[in-house]
Chain A
Amino acid sequence: MAEPVTVYPGDRRFAYLALAPSVALVLMLIAVPTVAIFALAVQDVPLGRYSGDFVGLANFRRLFADADFYAALGNTFIWIGGSVGLEMLFGTGLALLLNQRFPLRWLARTILLAPYLLPTIVAVLVWRYMFDDIVGIVNHIAISAGLVARPIQWLTSPRVALLSVILIGVWKFTPFVVIAILGILQSIPGEQYDAAKLDGAGPVRRFVTITLPHILPVFVLTALLRTIWTAHKFDLIYLLTGGGPINATTTLPVLVYVRGFHDFDAGGASAIALVILLLIALLLVPYLLIHRWSEARQ
């Protein structure tokens, strides 16, 4: 048994002193901006000023009467649902595949993980170029193969743009899911599968009774993280489409940017930012409940 540690008053003071820079940094980088957003959301702040007139909940009333907000909210749900759903589906499938033994498995793993390592701006430029209406390879192949007569408006049709953005997001971020699930898959003892095989369990039964319970906590945690990160994703969408055409790909984070830096409406932008905060908090609840349940099961 370890010896109890005696803490002297001087030690405590030193500990606080040592922690002070980190606490100050955290306060400066997280607490101050968060408080500032709450403060800005109830003010009408003119361009070039740090603060403005107190307007109470007027920014929220304006927001909830704004059709653009509801369009962005709808797009945000589609963006989160589509992206996270497909990423988890493909990510888990690919992880199961990469967990099997086959020739050049190392190469397949490297290639599959590459999109996640690419900087977003590079990925965006590559996809914008590939989807270009004039010189894009995708349209060139489609036209050459006789599939379409005119270029498809991948990122410029209000009907197709959000789907295109989701697919590019899935391509970019699925490797994160692969890494997470593959890691836990590799920790499952092979003897369990051997024993199950001896007992006559088929692949499906082995997956349901051995694999699934093992990966479930990591699966839930990964889905949770991907949901949070996807909910406030800005760069990929803005760089691909700028939120257009019309408002077809404007999600809430993009709307925050438009209100803040295009309409010079810091109060309105802050109100939307708080809605995003609330939205993420609400999305976390079911995930956390499932996570607690799966932990308890284990």
Chain B
Amino acid sequence: MNATFEPAATASGAKPSRRSVIKGLAGAAVGAVALAAPRIARAAEPIRFLHDETDPPTIEFFNKAIAAFEADNPGLKIEMEAVGSAGRLQKVTAMLNAHTMPEIFKILPEERFSFGRQGFLEPLDDVINAIGVDQYPDRMIAPIDGKRYSIPYTIGHSSVFWYRQDLLEAAGVELPRTWDEYIATAAKLTTGDQFGTVFPANKNRVTSLFFSQYYWSAGGTYFDKDLNLVFGGDAAVAALDFQKRLFASVPPGVVNYVNNDLVNAYLTEKVALVSWAGRLVSTAAANKPDLVTRTRAGKRPAGPAGVGVGFANPNNLALASEAVGARNVGAAKEFLQYILTGDRAVDFALTAYPHLIPPTAAVRSDPRLLAGTPALAGRNDLAEASFDISDTLDFESEAGAKIEGGKVELSGVTNPYIGAIIAKDIPAQIVQQVLLQDKAPADAVAWGQAQMESALAAARKG
């Protein structure tokens, strides 16, 4: 029998009333929902995964790992989203407020204290214990109130001193060993639209990061080992003076630079000396292999304290708590352990080699990783420089650190408060005041101290 779409007649043969049509539609809607409900209830909650590793090979790795995990775990589904580093925190903030947090998400070390204490995170001690606590550098898995709320997936080493050997030779200059030599060399390498060096001067975390490593190299720290704010003094002024003198040798656009702009500047071949992460080499190897042959890595120029202190911190993944919208925490832990161990961890590190530094000793010593990638064959020097995180600090571990005997000595204190200062970009704003507004370094430092005290008071108040 063919179905017809004629209006159905009532038993009396009259056309249906408006009321009966509405009733019928409402009934149909209720019926449809009732039929669909069991299907919806049966569907597994997906595990949402938010990160900022946007290199195409890394995305390809994640897609393959996710497919393999889903094949091994029928009924589990992973939904991945990759966002740029610049907008990550804003997205996370919006999701926290909306209580729609993904189960697994990228978190910065200095954010995890605040997030953990506010109940936004699930402890990950069981996952870390399963992998092995002794596999990680101590300072990178420091607990918060006895619990570990994040797990490193790479070590971000942001201060390898890359340089263009060909440009140095052409200019007849040596690799600078001190700040004064750095300023002079950069000035000599700056002509027309060619620039000696580059550092960011935007109002962002990476500018704070650069200033901090100069400040540490001058012998300062933001906090002492008792977590008192001790920012300022001669070290801060010296770091700002150094940046001001170096500013004449950087591209004018640094005021708007974000992380990737440092790599882009080097890839345009307009910059000779760059202190940045291994991504510079991994990107060059993928896009401009001939540039890699002209690239070398050297020791960071030493500051007034006798060492060129670098910056290296763990890049972490965290698990959101149910309080902020996570749904499938148990399965998310399984997935987390899956991608951070075994062949996956090695494969992941090789997607942006030598930028993605494995945090575990086991993976760092894996023969496949040590062999590197074909694109960097014979250039172990570049990988070794990226993997060498000696004489580095990060925001969490800098409290009370000292430079003694030409080495950085950690106090072993983990600082839960510094995130409030970095999140407000206070160090970056100090730099901008000196470089863009011609403020005297001492005045900018005084302004920064006041801002830091205010931010710290709010953070300590909770």
Q: Could you tell me which A residues sit within 8 Å of B by CB distance?
A: 10, 14, 17, 46-50, 132-135, 139-140, 143, 149-153, 155-158, 241-242, 244-246, 257, 261-264, 266
Contacts and interface: CB of A to CB of B under 8 A. Distances in A.
A156 B254 contact: yes
A246 B22 CA distance: 60
B256 interface: yes
Contacts of B424: 262-263
A147 B252 CA distance: 17
A75 to B, nearest CB: 15
Interface in B191-224: 192-193, 195, 202-203
A266 B96 CA distance: 12
B39 interface: no
Nearest to B195: A134
A48 to B, nearest CB: 4
Contacts of B323: 48
Given A134-B251, A135-B268, A143-B192, A17 B22 contact: yes
B253 A150 contact: no
Interface of B: 18-19, 22, 89-90, 93-94, 96-97, 99, 118, 120, 192-193, 195, 202-203, 251-256, 264-265, 268, 270, 323-324, 423-424, 432-433, 436-437
17 contacts: A47-B93, A49-B97, A134-B253, A135-B268, A139-B193, A143-B192, A143-B193, A149-B192, A151-B251, A153-B252, A155-B253, A156-B252, A156-B255, A158-B437, A242-B203, A245-B436, A261-B89
Query: Which secondary structure dominates chain A's binding surface?
Result: loop
A264 B419 CA distance: 13
B90 A262 contact: yes
Most buried by B among A48, A49, A140, A264: A48
A241 B423 CA distance: 19
Contacts, number: 93
Most buried by B among A17, A149, A151: A151
Contact of A47 (B96, B193, B253, B433): B96
Query: Which secondary structure dominates chain B's binding surface?
Result: helix
A245 B252 CA distance: 12
B256 A244 contact: yes
B118 A151 contact: no
B254 A48 contact: no
B120 A48 contact: yes
A134 B193 contact: yes
B256 A241 contact: yes
B21 to A, nearest CB: 10
A153 B96 contact: no
Contact of B255 (A140, A244, A264): A244
Contact of B253 (A48, A156, A264): A156
A133 B437 contact: no
Nearest to B203: A244
B129 to A, nearest CB: 28
Contacts of B255: 153, 156-157, 244-245
Contacts of A46: 118
A264 B436 contact: no
Given A158-B436, A244-B255, 15 more contacts: A10-B18, A47-B96, A48-B99, A48-B118, A133-B252, A133-B254, A134-B193, A134-B251, A155-B256, A156-B256, A242-B203, A246-B432, A257-B90, A261-B93, A266-B97
